Chain A
Amino acid sequence: ETGVTQTPRHLVMGMTNKKSLKCEQHLGHNAMYWYKQSAKKPLELMFVYSLEERVENNSVPSRFSPECPNSSHLFLHLHTLQPEDSALYLCASSQGPGQGDEQYFGPGTRLTVT
């Protein structure tokens, strides 16, 4: 595997379910990100981790819970979601969190909440 991988690629869950999204980067990067991409809305940054420490949390509801056990893996734990949480969830990584560091994105997980 190369680059940034995400599993599953598609997920349908009910509002009472608990599920997790997984992201893995094979680039030796030190920073990882979760984004939410909804139709007709700008990309929304949810969480940023640098060297496994959370450095940004953009007022995300507590029903989204990130976990970064090491610099290669990032999880997004989901529980009691709402239909408006249906979106494409993108994971990205970068060498560092510096302003000049480009981000490498995974293909995303298409989440549908029913």
Chain B
Amino acid sequence: AQSVTQLDSHVSVSEGTPVLLRCNYSSSYSPSLFWYVQHPNKGLQLLLKYTSAATLVKGINGFEAEFKKSETSFHLTKPSAHMSDAAEYFCVVSAFNAGKSTFGDGTTLTVKP
């Protein structure tokens, strides 16, 4: 069995300040983990993924995430928020195949000027 919990449904930051979006997962096996972003009226776009290689994963647009097995976490961070980062973010766990991926409920990121 697997599950994913995004700990915040909404996060609001000021432009230029750090971003932290939290994700905890549960899996009976060694999972792959993903972060996707969805801008309004668009499909989901991959930000980054972890597949048992380096635990610190760098993605697009300055985002990165660290896989912490002991804490079963995969939090997404960015040092400095930009207005264009305002969107919905999804954490995804996949332990068998992509067809059995579990999506989190999403975190809405608001960036204030």
Contacts and interface: CB of A to CB of B under 8 A. Distances in A.
A and B from one assembly? yes
Interface of A: 4, 31, 33, 42-43, 45, 48, 50, 55-56, 90, 92, 94, 96-108, 110
The winner among A48, A101, A108 for most chain B CB atoms within 10 A is A101
Nearest to A93: B98
Q: Which 8 A-B pairs have the closest CB atoms?
A: A105-B43, A48-B99, A100-B51, A43-B103, A105-B44, A99-B94, A56-B99, A97-B97
Contacts of B32: 99-100
Tier of interface size on chain B: 20 to 34
Contacts of A55: 99
A97 B49 CA distance: 15
Contacts of A56: 99-100
Contact of B46 (A33, A43, A90, A102): A102
Nearest to B100: A56
A102 B95 contact: no
B26 to A, nearest CB: 15
Interface string B31-43: 1101010000111
B49 A90 contact: no
Given A42-B104, A43-B103, A99 B44 contact: no
